[in-house]
Amino acid sequence: MKDYSFERPYIGDISQLFDVKEYRLVGGKADGVLAVDVWNGDKLCVTVLPDRGMDIYSVRYHGREMAWHSPAGIVHPSYYNSTGSQWLRTFQGGFLATCGLEWIGSADPEFAPNEGLHGRHNHTPAEKVNISVEYDAGGEPVCVLSGEVRHGLLFGVNYMLRRTFRFRRNENSFSFTDEITNDGFAEKPLYLLYHFNLGYPLISESAELLIDPVETVAANDYSEQFIDSWREITPPVPGYRQQNFYHFLEADSEGFRRYGVRNPAINTSMSVSFSSPIMDKIFEWKNLASGDYIMGLEPTSMIMAGRDAGPLGELKYLAAGETVENEFVFEFDRA
């Protein structure tokens, strides 16, 4: 039933109250990239890029961008170069860049000769992209956006990631679910990192990290020096050297692990809740350099040390035919 409650007589088209736009970008390295904008009819607007792994480029709340955007800008996946760290030349940043599924972390030519930094997912176009607007019991519109991202290699993996977003009218929240299936006939390793990139003005020296870890571990010897100040966010610093930490989170009674950011300077807070059978930690990428001012808070399936993951983050595997499901919920509010 398409009712939209009492407002229906006031409008000629639902786009006055809740809008979904599908389009392709024109010009430069972004030329041809498929994008989808969803406006919730109130304070939240989200841009998803199906041609970049169904990842999220932009999240605007009260007109302010919540994500960090790379100097590379949006780049068509055809420019992808898997050599070493060349991934960075086409890394657009954005609210989410999914990393994996065959590798995460720095390139390791000996252990993973076909994979560069952070794998291929963020540069892989989705298939079977579908956009629909459904209606809940109260007649309110709900946008359902879905697509499939294939990871297939002869004599290698045969993975399919199915991502489904849900956006509800007038709710300053949205969610997505990933179903990752091993369609092959042998057990294979699964590498997975959800590279959430938060930027200014959500991130500034007045921001507060809302994280309550059961354990925090420095990712390297340099970061170990700052293990007691991982919460501290400074103004931009020229030449800042990034710091990295792993925060292990406890699940609540509903099976969700939760964290977020609050910034009273813009009266805004954001929370992330995720449920996953293979992820119990987030990776903090603290990079407060001038021009590259980023706080990455990134759920991950393992410690990013390749074959040396060790007891804190052992490599996960998917059996033949096995499916793993990860669910994410994002909520925005006034601080």
In the chain, the amino acid numbered 91 is F
Q: 89-117: b or e for each residue (b if 16 or more CB lie within 10 Å)? A: ebbbbbbbbbbbbbbbbebbeeebeebbb
User: By the 8 A CB rule, do 104 and 123 touch?
Assistant: no
What per-residue confidence (pLDDT) applies to 7? 82
Fold adopted by 5-333: Beta-galactosidase; Chain A, domain 5 (2.70.98)
Q: What is the pTM of this model?
A: 0.95
What per-residue confidence (pLDDT) applies to 29? 97
From CA 188, how far away is CA 318, in angstroms rounded? 6
User: By the 8 A CB rule, do 82 and 307 touch?
Assistant: no
> Lowest-pLDDT range, 169-178, 229-238, 305-314?
305-314
Mean pLDDT calculated for residue range 253-276: 98
Tokens 């997975």 belong to 192
Mean pLDDT calculated for residue range 223-242: 97
pLDDT digits (tens, 9 = 90+) for 25-34: 999 999 999 9
In the chain, the amino acid numbered 69 is H
DSSP 230: T
Supply angle C-alpha 275, 276, 279, rounded to 5. Answer: 115
pLDDT digits (tens, 9 = 90+) for 1-28: 455 567 878 988 889 999 999 999 999 9
User: Does the pLDDT value for residue 121 go beyond 90?
Assistant: yes
Q: Which one, of 197, 198, 161, lies nearest residue 177 by Cα?
A: 161
Backbone phi, then psi, for 67, in 5-degree steps?
A: -95, 165
Average pLDDT, the chain: 93
